[in-house]
Chain A
Amino acid sequence: MNIPLRKSSDGKFNLPNDAGFILILIPTDMFPFFTRRLLSSIPVLFSVLVLCFLLVRIAPGSPFASERALDPATKSLLEEKYGLSGSLPTQVFRYTGNVIQGDLGESLKFRGRTVTEIIAQSLPRSLLLGSISFTLALGLGIPLGAWAAAKSGRATDTVLNTLALLTLSIPTFVLAPLSVLLFAFYLHVLPPAGWGSFNQLLLPSLCLAIPFIGSCARLTRSGLLQTLRSDYIRTARSKGVRESKLVLLHALRPAVLPLVAYAGPLAANILTGSLVVEEVFAIPGIGQFFVNGVMNRDVFLVSGAVLVYCLLLLFFNLMADWLTALLDPRIRLSS
């Protein structure tokens, strides 16, 4: 993580009277950092948007192509209607101008539906599924990793490590159909696919979370093992602090720092949907729209989805940096 560090003068939090719920935990010396990061996000977002638009437009194939040949005159009329006529710089200029005004354009494949409408309908589903999976990944990964580190070198550690490796090695396109076979057709306890009820959420969120549970557990374990070898832990141990208290109270907090750095991009990744999980469980989330948008050269839909992904990534990276500073008082995010 590329954060300029400096020691805090007092390490205390200042609580402004008019601060909101989130802001009360932000030390005042972090405000310049937050402002700078938010401001630097604007050119990043803009560049990503322009690059994405150009890449999709440059890729061979037309968004209006189908197996039935399209009359060239009709094609140019369609291009004009959707603002895809003229040179590439003209198109980029027109598109970014529309985006600045809040218009993400109309889908070229799902005619009559705006990109904003598609994102507004599909993103909440991916967000819900992703947040459950994210909670599961951290909620199970951290304790399992801590447990493995506490039992380092023993049978429990070996079993947990093997399990973590297994979850990382089984691809979702294998795991998802197998879980459907087991839970829906052998045990008859969960529906095989669909969206709308609590039962239908369980299998997809678990399948989405499982590989990340493994990686979270491994990151926690390695971080914790390193921390448990530190001098201050040795001192605490020599003073007779109980092992469980030692791990949970003293070692875990600094040990999860690498995990926090990993969790930022993970959150953005997991919340923006997975094509495989969404396809196997027939979930109309944003992941499918994004991938199919690329296939169909649906430039506005792809750019819109990339914009959302980029926003989420920037936000969660910022949150990860903020959490890092909160967890380790020695770290301050200076200007």
Chain B
Amino acid sequence: MVQRGSFDGGGLSRIDALAVARASTAFNLYCSGQADLLLDKGMIPSLILPQLRGRPDFHPGPLLATYFYRFNVTRAPFKDPRVRRALALAIDKEAITEKITRGGEPIAQALTPCGISGYQPPEGLSRDVEAARGLLRQAGYPDGRGFPRVSILYNKSELNEQIAVEIQAQWKRELGIEVDLRNQEWATYLRSLDTLDFDIARSSWVGDYDDPNTFLDCFVTDRGNNRTGWSNPQYDSLLASALAEPNPTSRFKILQKAETLLVTEALPIFPIYHFVGCLMFDPSRWDGLYPNLLDEHPFAEIQRREIQSSK
């Protein structure tokens, strides 16, 4: 990208955006000085993330994005909210973020990440294995006996697979239930989600704008992004009234009530962790880059420190 005419390029006359598919390649380019900035956590191999913490050029920050699992509530046994709740309560999310994602991701009890100004996401469900076992017993599956064989669907990626394997092991250990893993490539996976051809599916959602509605609107009845088969008139009416509410404080209260219904009572989904954004750049050479919720980094703001000091 080359600066044109009157466009204020922040002192940078040209920016080369390298199209790199592999995290290890991107990181190699950065380490060898061929790239100045890494603007995506996906460009840093997750295995070395723990070693990068504390380095002056490593800049992690929260991101408006959540990794979660969906239940297909049109299929047994997930028609029963007690089963969905039991499965969600048995998950050790810390184990996933500490052993697998390793980027310092905060565990998610609600769908909406913290950090949206004025909005406090609900507390959600904390891990409670005893309660999970009790719920499963009430639903007719004591110690997991008689629980139908279901599968976790995920799109092909090492991270998704590791998380699915961990959740599979946790459910087996804590609840005595067996689940299979079902791996599909991206386009097929999307089709399976759209046609509700799954039992449990991994998902993620990146907020489009700085408001809880960007997450919560997905689960309104028959929304294209619902992809769970879940429909709740109370939830729909809460979202509709939030849309009509001009007072931001009252609006956020309504949205919080809706989210509480979503992640603590009905649970067509269960959140696992919130993503973090990681930038890599040398702060002694670059200015104008700040980790932010929407992961937006306007090029016009990026400046080389030498240029800035010589101005």
Contacts and interface: CB of A to CB of B under 8 A. Distances in A.
A69 B195 CA distance: 12
Contacts of B192: 60
B191 A65 contact: yes
B187 A59 contact: yes
B32 interface: yes
Contacts of B186: 61, 295-296
Interface string B21-35: 110111011011010
A148 B188 CA distance: 49
A268 to B, nearest CB: 24
A194 interface: yes
A230 interface: no
Nearest to A298: B187
A62 B224 CA distance: 15
Q: Which 9 residue pairs are nearest across A and B when measured between Cβ atoms?
A: A69-B224, A61-B187, A192-B28, A65-B190, A282-B20, A60-B188, A61-B191, A69-B225, A60-B191
A177 interface: yes
Interface string A272-286: 000000011110100
Contact of B187 (A193, A284, A288, A296): A296
B46 interface: no
B18 interface: yes
A67 interface: yes
Contacts of A185: 28, 31-32
27 contacts: A60-B187, A61-B187, A61-B188, A62-B187, A62-B191, A65-B187, A67-B190, A68-B224, A69-B194, A69-B227, A71-B224, A177-B24, A180-B28, A191-B32, A192-B28, A192-B29, A192-B34, A193-B34, A194-B18, A280-B22, A282-B18, A282-B22, A282-B25, A284-B19, A288-B21, A295-B185, A295-B186
Interface string A177-212: 100100011000001111000000000000000000
Nearest to A56: B187
A70 interface: yes
Interface in B34-78: 34
A66 interface: yes
B53 to A, nearest CB: 21
Contacts of B188: 59-61
Interface residues of B, number: 28
B29 A70 contact: no
Contacts of B224: 68-71
Contacts of B34: 191-194
B204 interface: yes
B228 to A, nearest CB: 12
Contacts of A288: 21
Nearest to A69: B224
Interface of A: 59-63, 65-71, 177, 180, 184-185, 191-194, 279-282, 284, 288, 295-297
A68 B187 contact: no
B225 A192 contact: no
Contacts of A69: 194, 223-225, 227
Contact of A280 (B25, B223, B227): B25
Contacts of B19: 282, 284
Given A71-B224, A192-B34, A282-B18, A61 B190 contact: yes
Contact of B28 (A60, A62, A193): A193
Contacts of A70: 224
Given A68-B225, A295-B186, 12 more contacts: A59-B187, A65-B190, A71-B224, A191-B34, A192-B31, A192-B32, A194-B29, A194-B34, A279-B21, A279-B25, A284-B19, A295-B187
A174 to B, nearest CB: 13
- Most chain B CB within a 10 A radius of its CB, from A65, A67, A191, A295: A67
Nearest to B189: A61
B191 A192 contact: no
A300 B227 CA distance: 29
Interface in B207-231: 223-225, 227
Contacts of A68: 224-225
A279 B32 contact: no
B190 A279 contact: no
B184 to A, nearest CB: 9
A288 B204 CA distance: 25
Contacts of B20: 193, 282
Contacts of A297: 187
A67 B155 CA distance: 11
A81 B128 CA distance: 52
A70 B34 CA distance: 38
Contacts of B187: 59-63, 65, 295-297
Nearest to B22: A279
A281 B190 contact: no
Contacts of B25: 192-193, 279-282
A48 to B, nearest CB: 22
A172 B36 CA distance: 28
Contacts of B194: 65, 69
A167 B190 CA distance: 39
